Amino acid sequence: MKVLVTGANGYLGQGIVKALLADGTEVVAADRSAENIDKRAAAVACDLFSLEDPFTYFGKPDVLLHLAWRDGFVHYSDAHIQDLPLHYAFLKKMAGSGVKRIAVMGSMHEVGFFEGSIKEDTPCNPVTPYGISKNALRGLAQMLCSKENIGFQWLRGFYIVGNSKYGSSVFSKLTLAEQEGKKEFPFTMGQNQFDFIDYDEFCRRVACAVEQEEVLGIINICSGHPEKLADRVERFIKENGYSISLKYGAFPDRPYDSKAVWGDSTKIDAILGRRSGV
């Protein structure tokens, strides 16, 4: 299997490429820059949206894993709306040219405000440009794949825990603050409960989902259970030996964040079970 990974130089892309390579999968890794892409992959620095025939350009991959997305967690960035037609045009070119399956990275933010377990058929009512755009691309990608009779996977990501300072999550920002020698980190009260998954495990689960073709549709890349934000962040500080402390109540909770939300892990558990023979 040859997998084309777009956005391969990004925070998620770097780890997912490594996970695919570790399984022996042939990877073509594309991004505007190839600076941080694993050298075992066939790295291609290019502008995805300017390619007339991306399928041929990238060596006719079997599967497209589309991670590319500008301003990832800047939820109100205009880039989400501006880039949506470009993502659609790229996926349309790939879907109509011979690729066997398209997998796209989604986000639990496309669901919008919701409390409880997010399932495949949970209604989506996004409230930010980020969530609205992701949800729109999900519908468009599903339509394209159905029209061309190819496999479709929507990999819905939840809250990723990693100690890289280059990400946009609270954990990345906390890591950067620690490295800058700051003593306190402005924080909310941290009472909301989310579905947290460690970075390496997230990347492994994405790779496992893409490397098989039996389980399709929306696949939650999640742990399957909720945990209080404060508890996970405090544990993260201890796990990494940080000396920084949280300044509780410095920020209010975001109004569009749910009090308790987590993913239904039934599909990803089935995929992992097949791999382990369970």
What is the set of active-site residues?
130
HEC letters along the chain: CEEEEECCCCHHHHHHHHHHHHCCCEEEEEECCCCCCCCCCEEEECCHHHCCCHHHHCCCCCEEEECCCCCCCCCCCCHHHHHHHHHHHHHHHHHCCCCCEEEEEEEHHHCECCCEEECCCCCCECCCHHHHHHHHHHHHHHHHHHHHCCEEEEEEECEEECCCCCCCCHHHHHHHHHHCCCCEEECCCCCCEECEEEHHHHHHHHHHHHCCCCCCEEEEECCCCCEEHHHHHHHHHHHCCCCCEEECCCCCCCCCCCCEEEECCHHHHHHHHHHHCC
